[in-house]
Structure 1
């Protein structure tokens, strides 16, 4: 939470200071043109890489594979698009890191490893029971006996009715 606050508080100050310095060196209009050019190039690259990632994810789903890495890359491309459209040079550099295939694949692989480790460690229970065991899975369906037959039925608790009748 503090990191996000610092990013939103400090990043605009850094961007403005850098824009003013670059504007002082190459001129104000040239700086504006450079910012617009990076946004246009970045949006083109995000679109191209996004379509390639989508096609890869679709082909994996057709082979009944989970496109986990492609999902992470898609999220990175969304973040890259926002960063590249935001005026500033620091956000453009970060956005380009997320768009370039080599750095994006490397970052996505590391993020996926980190997310898998977090899911595994956060899903353990203090009782030591697996989250995928038969007793803890509410989506398993109806109960089955040892032969695999489904046990269904309705019942009435006769002991409560007997006690209520005796009290009258």
Structure 2
């Protein structure tokens, strides 16, 4: 098994087994500390706050992306922000306090630059950059046989 495959399996195990178990544990602990009703109310409140943050911060990121495009520059930061807001808001809508905490960190403008740098480093590590041959019309070596001739303009 390749190293990358083991890494993917490990991440999937953490995401689909360990995180839900940790969420259940934390929810039970919070429920014992403040009561079941308040715990459920907090979970609903975090879902509504997550939905509001997706809408609010998502709209801000969309405006910033449109401005970058209008200015003629590549909206890389704005696209990364949009992705982080989407993932963070989705984590906040999902029930659980651990995912809510991570979601808030991904969505808030104060902490988002840190995660943007982490995302950029992750993407850069997995990108394969290679030279691409581009054929441009004009003078230069041509492929195939060269036919000598004269251009006749009918004007």
Please indicate the TM-score interval, normalised by the length of the shorter structure.
0.7 to 0.9
Aligned CA RMSD, in angstroms, stands at 2.2
1:32 — aligned with what? 40
Residue in 2 that maps onto 1:146: 139
**Aligned residue in 1 for 2:3:** none
CA contact 1:69–1:109 (8 Å) conserved in 2: no
Change in CA separation of 1:63 and 1:93 when aligned onto 2, cut-off 3 Å:
same
The alignment covers a number of residue pairs equal to 135
Partner of 2:133: 133
Instruction: Give the Cα–Cα distance (whole angstroms) in 2 for the partners of residues 15 and 144 of structure 1.
Output: 60
Separation (CA, whole Å) in 1 of partners of 2:122 and 2:25: 34
TM-score normalised by length of structure 2: 0.78
Higher RCO (C-alpha 8 Å, min separation 6)? 2
Please list every run of 5 or more consecutive structure 1 residues that lacks an aligned counterpart in the other structure. 125-130, 135-139, 148-168
Contact persistence 2:50–2:90 (CA under 8 A): no
Say if 1:7 and 1:117 are closer, same or farther in 2 by CA, change over 3 A. Answer: closer
Cα distance, 1:133–1:12 mapped onto 2, change above 3 Å: same
Q: How far off its partner does 1:89 sit?
A: 0.4
CA–CA distance in structure 2, aligned partners of residues 27 and 10 of structure 1: 24
Q: Which has the larger radius of gyration?
A: 1
Work out whether residues 69 and 112 of structure 1, in 8 Å CA contact, stay in contact via their aligned partners in 2: no
Q: TM-score, normalised by structure 1?
A: 0.72
Once the 2 structures are TM-superposed, how far is the Cα of residue 4 of structure 1 from its aligned partner? 2.1
- The reply to whether residue 55 of structure 1 matches residue 66 of structure 2 is no
Q: 1:87 aligns with which of 77, 81, 95?
A: 95
Structure 2 residue aligned with 1:96: 104
**Structure 2 unmatched ranges of 5 or more:** 1-7, 141-155
Give the C-alpha shift of residue 43 in structure 1.
1.4
